[in-house]
């Protein structure tokens, strides 16, 4: 066998098999349940919690794991590339000039270019990429070859749409409402086939090309030539408009005027009859058309559209101003069927013409499917600006400015004296983004502007520069529009049809057919209400609800909750806690929801109906504390919809914290606090102290404040953090606890999981409380919180878990380690220890090397826990009488030296605990009146405060006991925090007197010291 | 292994941060080096091949945003290694693990009576894909790592967390199954 043959065969293996193999992790496969849990996200976390409370929740979780086994590998499967070589489904869009654009998960494609939707690439040429030529009508995507037009899916699977017949090549295709197709394209007619009654001129030897508009009847396979325009060599011939429901064409000289094609109608006869000439320069038009003749010359009309039987058009005209100078104006008109005259359209602020004449900067209208767009240069107080506005045809309450920029800034020295009509301008509106080419190249090579319509951010695209995001982003409104159907197509979400095992309350037995839909005896809200009781007989419903259940009737005047609102709230809103999401849903639904309790008081269900049929609703399952039903642990969210074809409900599980949609990841390149550069957290000497800094700001996160570093020294003043940051991390509530290990910030979501916040805001899932269950006997069903994080090395995080229990019991501490690479949790616990001997002090555990040192509650015994094997113990209270009392701060440095305050005497001793050997403690020489503040990360040094005569100094103490003063005596220090960045020490010292609080941020590089003082407002 | 996520590494590429290369090498260099080494039969050549692949990543990301960085890199490495092997035409059989893998599979793919017959490689690829689709995931992984990735038995055992004997037996049974499958399909 030839080697090259072998190579070829192997090169033909499917990519997903290769991906599966190279990503295979045998160790991980052995712990498949963990992987599943990770891939399923917090939804699984919530479900896994059900292991504790038992019952239906666990059943759902188990079913979810087994329902779709291939989902296990979803993380390691290479996605099939779409027909344009990208990832994800393709969607087609038409611009206002009828050009076709496409998008997938990553790129916009059009012409011979593409660019990343998120602005991560410049404008890229694709002419060498040998991509297929595609057409779209905004809904379907078409290819054409072999004389046929095909509908293609995103991956090139084609279905015949129609045969082109004589047409050589379709330029525009549109599926009409009745299923027929209309296409515009060129047909070459041989000279021999020319009609005898006249040869259109000019023509070529071989014949001539005609532009045909052809209606293709899909049922019969026949076609009708609607338009046949032969005189195509005239330079005035051009396509003018091509809208989703409207085709028109300008051709030839002025006598031919405009054709239009209105495909709003379902009846093909109407369609056919609506194809008529529309003359603007005389009154010969057919009255059936409804738009009678106008006095304008056709060349004055620069564009028009028909929307809801109203003709919109723009007229470009010239007149002289008071100085006799010729000026150009644009005027916007509307005309309804039957109107004798068009009406100059000044609706709301959409008054381009009024803004134009004086400065002779015409503005132009571009007519899209749902919006018309205005482009103008406008004189403002800030100077001349280039402005783009958007205006809905049906909304007359003013236009929306979607882009505005000083002309000088945009175009530099090449400021156009006046904006010539940018004939090639066009707008592509995808509802979430709008992009358009500039009328001339920008000062920095900008060619295209892309605006995020959700939050107003935008960037410009050139050929050689990576775009920079501009504008103010609102992170709370980042959720892209998503439809229910898209949800069900999302492979990352668990979805399916109801089964008796999964959702018996929504399962409809198969024997029920469409014929007896009204007799269906399936139930909603568990066995409480028949699904067919769509009239919402709340009185009857109430009879079915057990104690504690309730049905809230909706205020008939209250606005209906929409799918988008509910979806955004659950998966992408600023609310980050499941039970709070549920409460927000209650508000959003205006009280229109049902609640029922099952036989287990800790589980309840709620439905939020989107319409009165009950076929479309959001479902929330709530788990609460067994002893305190009003305190919910967590919530699971599902969207349900009735599938008419399958006669069954479909559901999709909605993770309440979808990583993509809820992540605090910043869209504009800033870090997660809204500043720039790396965020450096300070380790604090007191609980809750969270100072941080980056290149731009100092932060006091406990207070939700920041101060710009380059402010006017020395008067830096804190200001509130941006709302989006405050909302994101929920300061001041129990819903989110932000912690730091001295290098990273971590976020613990109440009822949920522990995340590490990366600098850009990406939230890296680490673990959830349920992963502790079963790993230590001391952990029972009580809720676990996390505290006291220490990064042991680059890939291990020590965490102290705290089990909240009833008042009678001592707080339970569970030290454990999370491997940051594998997310494997190792609990450092000794089941042999009596519960009372466990850790009940804050800061009572510390790590050094591979060991965790924990103090028992008598303060006399140090437990040394290792990842493997039994713990050992050090008795501290022997000859030296070392006793670490309640709230004593103590640390073990990297050399396994124990640093602590001697009880009541405030001095240091050293204790070598290397290899668990106990040595006689030595009093540190300058330890009087000192207070241990903590270890300086990445060093072997301890930070301490010395208090004398109401003055506090800050020292860094070396392993040998010597120290260096970092800050001279100052007033009453109420917080000290610090970090080490490659040998440069940073301190934040908060002091207060009777009048004000201030933080000194001190930088000490061993030689020089610099400081900024920041005052609180 | 680097704790940096693929997304972070790709972001580094997009930011033109050369740390992207070191992170990629740290995270996936081991596997890719094995693939290259076993094709080329030379550690030094494999090193160069891996460097070339990293350079190619640097050139193609951005604009590329690979969905799966490991697969993206390993396919690149393998292609480069194959090209390098063909170009050198040193193709001195007996050099790398590829030869061993080929010798194991050639009697399965081609009839022993006509070992040098021109094969319909495309049909064989398609058939092999169908065959692989019916295998247990772990078996498929072992097969692909052996005959696509040209990894040694030991390397596969380590990657799959299995013993070497299990890998050998699995591959043997799979080859036999493949042989029967191809005969049924009329391809041998």
Q: Measured between alpha carbons, how far is A72 from A64 in angstroms, rounded to an integer?
A: 11
- Is A647 among the domain residues? yes
CA angle A47, A497, A590 (to 5 degrees): 70
Please indicate if any CB of chain A lies within 8 Å of the CB of B104.
Answer: no
Q: How many CA atoms lie within 13 A of A363 on its CB side?
A: 27
pLDDT for the residue numbered A945: 78
State mean pLDDT over A596-617: 66
Determine the average pLDDT of the residues in A526-533.
44
Q: Is residue A771 part of a domain?
A: no
Residue range(s) defining the domain that contains residue A10: 3-76
Q: In whole angstroms, how far apart are CA A265 and each of A180, A289, A307?
A: 12, 13, 12
Q: Which two tokens stand for residue B138?
A: 């772990």
Gap from A4 CA to chain B (nearest CA, Å): 8
Tokens found for residue A406: 């000083």
Q: Which residue has the higher pLDDT, A937 or A210?
A: A937
Ranked by mean pLDDT, which of A153-167, A362-376, A385-399, A887-901 comes out on top?
A: A153-167
A760 CB neighbours in chain B (<8 A) are 11
- Asked whether residue A141 carries a pLDDT value surpassing 90, the answer given is yes
More confident residue, A259 or A107: A107
Which pLDDT score, from 0 to 100, does residue A291 have? 46
The yes-or-no verdict on residue A92 having pLDDT over 90 is yes
* Distance in angstroms (rounded) separating the CA atoms of residues A569 and A577: 11
Which of A610, A640, A661 corresponds to the end of one domain? A661
For residue A504, being part of any structural domain is answered with yes
B127 touches chain A (CB under 8 A): no
Q: What is the pLDDT of residue A368?
A: 80
- Bigger pLDDT: A748 or A497? A497
Chain-chain contact of A18 with B5 (C-beta, under 8 angstroms): no
If asked whether residues A369 and A476 sit together in one domain, one would say: yes
Q: Tell me if B68 and A106 make a contact (CB, 8 A cut-off).
A: no
Say yes or no for a CB contact (<8 Å) between B82 and A15. no
CB < 8 Å to A8, chain B: 121-122, 125
- Residue of A4, A21, A469 to mutate when probing chain B, most B C-beta within 10 A: A21
Same domain, A516 and A574: yes
Percent of chain A with pLDDT over 70: 47
Residue A642 has pLDDT above 70, yes or no: yes
Strand ranges (E), A914-992 = 922-923, 930-935, 942-948, 951-957, 963-970, 972-981, 984-992
- pLDDT at residue A968 is higher than 70: yes
**Closest to A821 (Cα-Cα) out of A129, A8, A38, A1:** A38
| Bridge partners, residue A637, by sequence | A620, A654
Residue at which a domain ends, from A629, A661, A693: A661
Q: Quick check: A855 pLDDT over 50?
A: yes
User: Percentage of chain B surpassing pLDDT 90?
Assistant: 3
Do A18 and B93 make contact, defined as CB atoms within 8 angstroms?
Answer: no
In a domain, A246, yes or no: no
The pLDDT of residue B28 is: 86
Q: Output the pLDDT for position B84.
A: 77
Among A21, A25, A794, the residue with its CB nearest the CB of B148 is: A21
Task: Assign A535 a pLDDT band (cuts: 50, 70, 90).
Answer: very low
| Short-list A709, A566, A751, A696, CA closest to A640 | A566
* The two three-digit tokens of residue A664, written as one number: 């605090």
Same domain membership, residue A473 and residue A384 = yes
**A12-16, A200-204, B23-27: the lowest-pLDDT one:** A200-204
CA–CA min distance A80, chain B (Å): 10
Contact with chain A for residue B119, Cβ under 8 A = yes
A164, A149 Cβ separation under 8 angstroms = yes
Per-residue pLDDT band for A271 (boundaries 50, 70, 90) equals very low
Q: Answer yes or no: do A478 and A558 share one domain.
A: no
Chain B closest CA to A868's CA: distance in Å?
A: 21
Considering only the beta carbons, identify the residue of A4, A21, A466 that sits closest to B145. Answer: A21
With CA atoms as reference, the chain A residue closest to B72 would be: A19
Tell me, rounded to whole angstroms, the distance of Cα A93 from its chain centroid: 22
Of A2-6, A129-133, A780-784, B114-118, highest mean pLDDT: A2-6
Return the number of other C-beta atoms located less than 10 Å from residue B170's C-beta.
Answer: 21
Task: Check pLDDT > 50 for residue A353.
Answer: no
| Interface with chain B: mutation pick from A24, A791, A819, highest number of B CBs within 10 Å | A24
Over residues A645-665, the pLDDT tens digits come to: 777 788 887 765 433 333 445
CB–CB contact B93 A3 (8 Å): yes
Q: Average pLDDT, stretch A780-791?
A: 59
Q: Give the mean pLDDT of A101-130.
A: 79
Residues of chain A contacting B118 with CB distance shorter than 8 Å: 5
Q: Does A460 have pLDDT greater than 80?
A: yes
Tell me, yes or no, if B132 comes closer than 8 A to chain A by beta carbon. yes
Q: Point out the domain boundary residue: A487, A511, A544.
A: A487
pLDDT of residue A135: 92
Give residue B65's pLDDT: 73
Question: Does A568 fall in a domain?
Answer: yes
C-alpha to C-alpha distance for A793 and A791, rounded to whole angstroms: 6
A75, closest residue in chain B (CA to CA) = B68
Residue A920's pLDDT is: 61
Residue A112 covered by a domain: no
- Using pLDDT thresholds of 50, 70 and 90, give the confidence band for residue A966: confident
Q: Which residues pair with A991 in a beta bridge?
A: A973, A998
Bin A155: left if φ > 0, else alpha if -120 < ψ < 50, else beta.
Answer: alpha
Residues A479-523 have pLDDT tens digits of 344 677 777 766 556 678 887 767 766 777 766 554 444 444 444
- Select from A21, A27, A77 the Cβ nearest to the Cβ of B161: A27
Which range, of A170-174, A427-431, A453-457, B33-37, averages the lowest pLDDT? A453-457
Least confident span in A173-182, A217-226, A582-591, B24-33: A582-591
The region of weakest confidence among A38-52, A447-461, B63-77 is: A38-52
For residues A178-202, average pLDDT: 61
Which helix (H) or strand (E) segment is B34 a member of?
helix B19-40
Do A536 and A563 have their domain in common?
yes
Closest alpha carbon within chain A to B86: A4
Using CA atoms, how far apart are residues A203 and A230, in angstroms rounded to an integer? Answer: 9
**Given CB atoms, is B121 within the 8 Å cutoff of chain A?**
yes
- The complex's ipTM works out to 0.80
Interface touch A18/B86, C-beta < 8 Å: no
For chain B, the domains span 6-88, 97-185
Model confidence pLDDT, tens digit, residues A565-593: 788 777 755 455 566 777 777 777 765 56
Render B71-110 in DSSP notation, one character per residue: HHHHHHHHHHHHHHHHHH----TTSSHHHHHHHHHHHHHS
| Sign of the Cα pseudo-torsion (A432, A436, A438, A441, in order) | positive
Residues 6 or more apart whose Cβ sits within 8 Å of residue A447: A123, A437, A438, A441, A460, A461, A462, A463
Q: In chain B, which residues have their Cβ closer than 8 Å to the Cβ of A18?
A: 71, 74-75, 144, 148
In a domain, A395, yes or no: yes
pLDDT at residue A43 is higher than 50 = no
Greatest mean pLDDT among A366-370, A667-671, B18-22 lies in B18-22
User: Do A528 and A433 share a structural domain?
Assistant: no
* Region A984-1007 average pLDDT: 81
Output the six-digit token pair for A223.
């076609």
pLDDT at A151 over 90: yes
Q: How far apart are CA B6 and CA A1010, in angstroms?
A: 39
Nearest CA in chain B to A759: B8
CA distance A498 to A506: 6
Question: What is the Cα–Cα distance from A551 to A608, expressed in whole angstroms?
Answer: 11
Could you give phi then psi for residue B185, rounded to 5 degrees?
-80, -5
* Rounded Cα gap, residues A700 and A898, in angstroms: 30
Domain identity same for A336 and A474: yes
For residue A386 the two structure tokens come to 């280039």
Q: How confident is the model at residue A923 (pLDDT cuts 50, 70, 90)?
A: low
Q: Tell me, what's the pLDDT at A162?
A: 92
Residue indicated by tokens 């006598």? A255
Reading the block at residue B23, the tokens are 């992170």
Kindly write down the DSSP assignment for every residue of A556-617, as one continuous string: TTSPPPPHHHHHHHHHTSS---HHHHHHHHHHHTTT-EEEEE-SSTTEEEEEEESSTTSSEE
CATH no. for B6-88: 1.10.1740
Ramachandran angles phi, psi of A146, nearest 5°: 55, 30
Q: pLDDT tens-digit profile of A666-691?
A: 556 678 888 888 899 887 655 556 88
Q: How far off is chain B from A75, nearest CA to CA, in Å?
A: 9
pLDDT attached to residue A581:
76
Q: Which of residues 39-68 of B touch A (CB under 8 A)?
A: 62-63, 65, 67-68
Q: Is A859 left (phi over 0), alpha (psi -120 to 50) or beta?
A: left
User: How many Å lie between the alpha carbon of A121 and the closest alpha carbon of chain B?
Assistant: 6
pLDDT at residue number A790? 67
> Mean pLDDT score of chain A, rounded to an integer?
65
Average pLDDT over residues A837-860: 55
Instruction: State whether A361 and A443 are in the same domain.
Output: yes
In this predicted structure, the answer to whether residue A926 has a pLDDT above a threshold of 50 is: yes
Chain A residues with CB inside 8 Å of B14's CB? 120, 466
Query: Which helix (H) or strand (E) element contains residue A900?
Result: strand A898-901
User: What are the structure tokens assigned to A759, written together?
Assistant: 């600098």
Of B11, B121, B129, the CB nearest to A14: B129
Separation of alpha carbons A142 and A151, rounded Å: 5
Residues A644 and A551 in one domain: yes
Task: Specify whether the CB–CB gap between B39 and B81 falls below 8 A.
Answer: yes
pLDDT over 50 (residue A45): no
Confidence of residue A364 (pLDDT cuts 50, 70, 90): confident
The secondary structure of residue A762, as a DSSP letter, is -
- A565 and A465 together in one domain: no
List the structure tokens of A478: 């980042």
Q: How far is CA A406 from its chain centroid? A: 30
Angstrom distances, CA of residue B137 to CA of A983, B83, B140, B170: 50, 29, 5, 12
Res. A693 pLDDT band, cuts 50 70 90: very high
On whether residue A800 sits in a domain, the answer given is no
* pLDDT of residue A983 exceeding 50: yes
For the segment(s) B97-185, the CATH number from 1.10.10.10, 3.30.365.10, 3.40.50.300, 3.20.20.140 is 1.10.10.10
Residue among A4, A17, A29 whose CB faces B144 most closely: A17
Domain count, chain A: 3
B180 interface with A at CB cutoff 8 Å: no
SS3 content of chain B, % helix, strand, coil (to 5): 70, 0, 30
For residues A465 and A502, membership in a common domain is answered with: no
Locate the DSSP E strands across B111-170: none
Are B121 and A5 an interchain contact pair (Cβ–Cβ within 8 Å)?
A: yes
User: What pLDDT was estimated at residue A102?
Assistant: 93
Q: Do B144 and A73 touch (CB under 8 A)?
A: no
């Amino acid at each position: 066998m030839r080697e090259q043959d072998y190579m070829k065969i192997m090169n033909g293996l499917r990519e997903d098999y290769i991906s599966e193999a190279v990503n295979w992790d045998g160790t991980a496969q052995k712990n498949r349940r963990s992987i599943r849990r990770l891939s399923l996200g917090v939804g699984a976390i919530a479900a896994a919690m059900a292991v504790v409370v038992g019952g239906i929740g666990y059943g759902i979780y188990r079913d979810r794991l087994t329902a779709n086994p291939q989902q296990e590998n979803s993380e390691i499967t290479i996605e099939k590339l779409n027909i344009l070589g990208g990832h994800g489904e393709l969607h087609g869009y038409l611009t206002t000039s009828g050009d076709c654009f496409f998008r997938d998960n990553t790129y916009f494609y059009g012409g011979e270019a593409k660019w990343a939707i998120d602005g991560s690439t410049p404008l890229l040429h694709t002419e060498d990429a040998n991509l297929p030529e595609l057409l779209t009508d905004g809904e379907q995507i078409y290819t054409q070859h072999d004389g046929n037009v095909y509908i293609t899916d995103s991956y090139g699977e084609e279905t015949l749409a129609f045969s082109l017949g004589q047409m050589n090549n379709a330029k525009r295709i549109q599926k009409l409402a009745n299923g027929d197709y209309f296409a515009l394209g060129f047909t070459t007619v041989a000279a021999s086939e020319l009609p005898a009654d006249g040869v259109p001129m000019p023509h070529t030897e071989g014949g001539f090309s005609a532009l045909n508009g052809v209606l293709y009847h899909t049922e019969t396979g026949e076609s009708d030539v609607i338009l046949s325009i032969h005189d195509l060599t005239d330079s005035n011939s051009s396509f003018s408009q091509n809208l989703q429901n409207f085709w028109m064409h300008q051709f030839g000289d002025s006598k031919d005027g405009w054709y239009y094609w209105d495909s709003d109608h379902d009846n093909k006869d109407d369609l056919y009859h609506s194809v008529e000439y529309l003359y603007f320069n005389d009154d010969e038009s057919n009255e059936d058309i409804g738009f009678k003749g106008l006095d304008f010359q056709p060349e004055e009309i620069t564009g028009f559209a028909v929307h809801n039987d109203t003709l919109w058009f723009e007229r470009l005209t010239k007149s002289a101003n008071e100085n006799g100078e010729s000026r150009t104006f644009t005027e916007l008109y509307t005309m309804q069927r039957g109107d004798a005259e068009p009406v100059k359209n000044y609706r709301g602020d959409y008054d381009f013409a009024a803004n134009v004449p004086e400065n002779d900067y015409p503005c132009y209208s571009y007519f899209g499917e749902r919006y018309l767009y205005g482009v103008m240069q406008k004189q403002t107080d800030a100077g001349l600006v280039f402005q783009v506005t958007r205006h809905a045809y049906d909304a007359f309450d003013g236009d929306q400015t979607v882009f505005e920029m000083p002309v000088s800034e945009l175009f530099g020295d090449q400021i156009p004296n006046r904006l010539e009509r940018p004939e090639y301008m066009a707008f592509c509106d995808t509802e979430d983004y709008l992009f358009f080419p500039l009328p001339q190249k920008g000062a920095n090579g900008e060619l295209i502007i892309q605006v995020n319509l959700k939050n107003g951010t935008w960037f410009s695209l050139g050929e050689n520069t990576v775009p920079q995001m501009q504008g103010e982003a609102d992170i709370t409104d980042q959720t892209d529009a998503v439809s229910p159907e898209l949800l069900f197509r999302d492979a990352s979400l668990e979805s399916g049809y109801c089964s008796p095992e999964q959702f018996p309350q929504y399962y409809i037995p198969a024997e029920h057919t469409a014929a007896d839909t009204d007799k269906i005896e399936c139930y909603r809200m568990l066995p409480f209400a028949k699904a067919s009781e769509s009239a919402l007989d709340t009185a009857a419903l109430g009879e079915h609800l057990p104690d504690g259940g309730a049905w809230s009737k909706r205020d008939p005047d209250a606005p209906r909750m929409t799918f988008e609102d509910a979806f955004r709230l659950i998966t992408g809103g600023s609310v980050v806690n499941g039970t709070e999401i549920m409460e927000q849903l209650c508000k959003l639904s205006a009280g229109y929801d049902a609640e029922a309790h099952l036989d287990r008081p800790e589980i309840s269900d709620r439905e939020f109906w989107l319409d009165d049929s009950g076929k479309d609703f959001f479902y929330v399952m709530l788990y609460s504390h067994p002893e305190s039903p009003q305190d919910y642990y967590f919530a699971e969210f599902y969207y349900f919809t009735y599938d008419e074809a399958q006669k069954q409900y479909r559901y999709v599980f909605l993770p309440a914290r979808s990583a993509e949609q809820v992540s605090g990841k910043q869209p504009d390149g800033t870090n997660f606090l809204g500043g720039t550069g790396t965020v450096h957290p300070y380790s604090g000497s007191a609980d809750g102290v969270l100072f941080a800094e980056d290149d731009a700001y100092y932060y006091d996160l406990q207070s939700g404040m920041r101060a710009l570093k380059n402010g006017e020294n020395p008067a830096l003043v804190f200001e509130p953090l941006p709302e989006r940051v405050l909302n994101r991390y929920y300061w001041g509530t129990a819903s989110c606890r932000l912690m730091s290990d001295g290098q990273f910030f971590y976020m613990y979501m109440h009822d949920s999981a522990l995340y590490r916040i990366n600098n850009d805001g990406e939230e890296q899932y680490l673990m959830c409380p349920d992963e502790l269950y079963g790993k230590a006997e001391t952990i029972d069903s009580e809720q676990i919180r996390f505290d006291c994080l220490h990064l042991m090395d680059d890939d291990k995080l020590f965490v102290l878990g705290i089990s909240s229990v009833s008042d009678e019991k001592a707080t339970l501490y569970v030290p454990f380690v999370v491997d940051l690479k594998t997310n494997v949790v190792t609990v450092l616990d000794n089941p042999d220890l009596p519960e009372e001997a466990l850790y009940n002090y804050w800061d009572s555990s510390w790590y050094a090397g591979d060991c965790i040192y924990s103090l028992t509650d008598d303060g006399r015994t140090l437990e040394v826990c290792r990842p493997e094997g039994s713990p050992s113990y050090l008795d501290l209270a022997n000859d030296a009488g070392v006793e670490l009392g309640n709230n004593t701060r103590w640390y073990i440095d990297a050399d396994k030296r124990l640093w602590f305050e001697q009880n009541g005497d405030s001095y240091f001793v050293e204790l070598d605990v290397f290899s668990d050997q106990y040595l006689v403690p030595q009093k540190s020489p300058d330890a009087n009146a000192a207070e241990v503040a903590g270890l300086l990360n990445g060093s072997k040094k301890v930070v301490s405060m010395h208090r004398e005569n109401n003055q506090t100094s800050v020292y860094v103490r070396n392993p040998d006991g010597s120290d260096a003063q970092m800050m001279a005596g100052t007033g009453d220090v109420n917080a000290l925090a610090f970090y080490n960045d490659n040998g440069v020490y940073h301190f934040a010292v908060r002091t207060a007197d009777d009048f004000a609080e201030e933080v000194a941020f001190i930088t000490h590089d061993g030689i020089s010291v610099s400081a900024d003082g920041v005052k609180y407002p | 292994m680097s704790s940096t996520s693929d997304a972070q590494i790709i972001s580094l590429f997009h930011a033109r941060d050369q740390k992207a290369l070191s992170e990629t090498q740290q995270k996936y260099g081991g596997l890719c080096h094995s693939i290259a080494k076993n094709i080329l039969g030379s550690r030094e050549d494999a090193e160069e091949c891996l460097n070339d692949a990293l350079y190619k990543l640097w050139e193609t990301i951005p604009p590329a945003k690979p969905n799966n960085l490991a697969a993206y890199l390993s396919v690149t490495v393998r292609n480069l290694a194959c090209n390098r092997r063909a170009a050198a035409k040193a193709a001195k059989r007996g050099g790398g693990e590829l030869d061993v893998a080929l010798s194991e599979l050639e009697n399965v793919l081609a009839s022993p009576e006509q070992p040098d017959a021109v094969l319909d490689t495309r049909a064989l690829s398609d058939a092999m894909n169908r065959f692989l689709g019916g295998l247990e995931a772990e078996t498929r992984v072992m097969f692909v790592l052996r005959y696509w990735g040209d990894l040694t038995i030991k390397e596969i055992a380590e990657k799959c967390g299995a013993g070497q004997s299990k890998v050998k037996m699995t591959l043997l049974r799979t080859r036999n199954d493949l042989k029967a499958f191809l005969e049924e399909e009329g391809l041998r």
